[in-house]
Amino acid sequence: MKPLLILFLATGVLSSCHSLSDPSNQAHLTPTAIYNIDSVRLATGSGDDKSARKQLLAAVNVYKNEKDPAKSVGLFKKSIQIRPSAEAYYGLGSALLDQGQCNEALSALRIAEKLEYKPLANVMFKLSAAYTNVKGMFEYDYQKDSAAMHYMELALQMGFGHPDEFIKNPWFEEANGRFNWPAVYKIALNAGANSKDPELALWEEYRNEFQPVQLPLTINNAWINDHPLTKDIAFDYEKFVPEMRTSKFSREVDKEYYYFAIIKKDTSYTTLLYGGKHTSLESEHVHAPVFFFLVSYDPKGKILDKLEVAGQQNFTDLVKVFTLQPNYTFEVSDFKNVYRDNPEEAGYDSNVIIRTDPGAVNHYRIGAGGRFEKTDAPLALR
């Protein structure tokens, strides 16, 4: 590694321990305004994003892991009031639907739709379920069936990944007993995106969120500080990001994952680069650790190879620097942060990094079939 790059890394690492600035605008939505789309749109650019995300992750943990939708509703609403997001509205709508509060679930899900939650087909599915079971909104059953079937058709045409839910799920038991529902289901199932494998449609929707990136590319701590991750990956895509789930198959909610770049698209594989952030380690004085995975998938979204290539997941980890060349060769260099005070005694909060020591350097290439093959160092570095 050239000395200049080491200095560049060290500068970036040191800067990561600077104090985090307070949000300049912390306008909150009132409880009566959370279902007003005009108020919501005005509030999406204000408020404390970190605090809102913290509440959202707490809500997801209660809803998904503790399986307590009633308790999660208040947490989702707190996140929305601080700073609204499509993810929080989708979670709120799902929790309300699970409790049979279909009228309010419709209000939340409509906001999630307007904020363009991804995958949108999942919002359509939940809207269909809410309309099927809503009470008091329509005078006749055929009116709510019409609304429910409309969203069923949209969900299936968009490639909803579990189309049999419209037949098997108890939410639709009453609707399936009526004349038009099964017929509309069969027609919609054979149209649009669902004329192909729904799992393939989900994979393509996930893949298309990644944007091309200019090569060569070097990701070190200075680069990470200058390029904050903002476009988070929804839990609905967790099959493509296995780190989203713990060994106990519950949702890993202390880390968030983000789209970054499509690296290479071949007929037999696609290589993507996504990032992650260990949000639970962030404090008033220290940024959360950020890390990146390079992953190759087959044409149906099955993972072929995966490698952690940049950043660090925990403060105790080595810091990785990733350099990718236009010919798809790359190197992953390890560095060890040395702190002013012993972290075991002083911790990491406000503990300054005094130097960064270089370690191993590994060289790779994206080989046939998308595999990451180790290579010798380039001649210029021998």
pLDDT category of residue 250 using cuts at 50, 70 and 90: low
Alpha helices in 173-281 (DSSP H): 173-176, 180-189, 198-207, 221-226
**Rounded Cα gap, residues 9 and 15, in angstroms:** 10
- The predicted pLDDT at position 28 comes to 72
**Rounded Cα gap, residues 284 and 89, in angstroms:** 27
DSSP string, 163-181: TTHHHHSGGGHHHHTSSHH
Question: Which of 81, 68, 76, 79 shows the shortest CA–CA distance to 93?
Answer: 76
The DSSP 8-state label assigned to residue 245 in this structure reads B
Q: What average pLDDT score do residues 215-235 get?
A: 92
- The predicted pLDDT at position 132 comes to 93
**Rounded Cα gap, residues 151 and 252, in angstroms:** 30
pLDDT at 217 over 50: yes
For the chain, give every domain's residue range. 21-196, 203-381
- The predicted pLDDT at position 321 comes to 97
Q: What average pLDDT score do residues 155-173 get?
A: 89
What are 78's two structure tokens? 């707190």
71 in helix, strand or coil?
A: helix
- The predicted pLDDT at position 195 comes to 55
pTM of the model: 0.75
Task: Tell me the pLDDT tens digit for each residue of 293-344.
Answer: 999 999 999 999 999 999 999 888 999 999 999 999 999 999 999 988 887 7
**Rounded Cα gap, residues 167 and 170, in angstroms:** 8
Q: What percent of the chain has pLDDT over 90?
A: 54
**Rounded Cα gap, residues 92 and 73, in angstroms:** 6
Task: Tell me the pLDDT tens digit for each residue of 38-66.
Answer: 999 988 878 788 889 889 989 999 998 89
Which CATH number does the domain 21-196 belong to among 1.25.40.10, 1.10.10.10, 3.90.79.10, 1.10.8.60?
Answer: 1.25.40.10
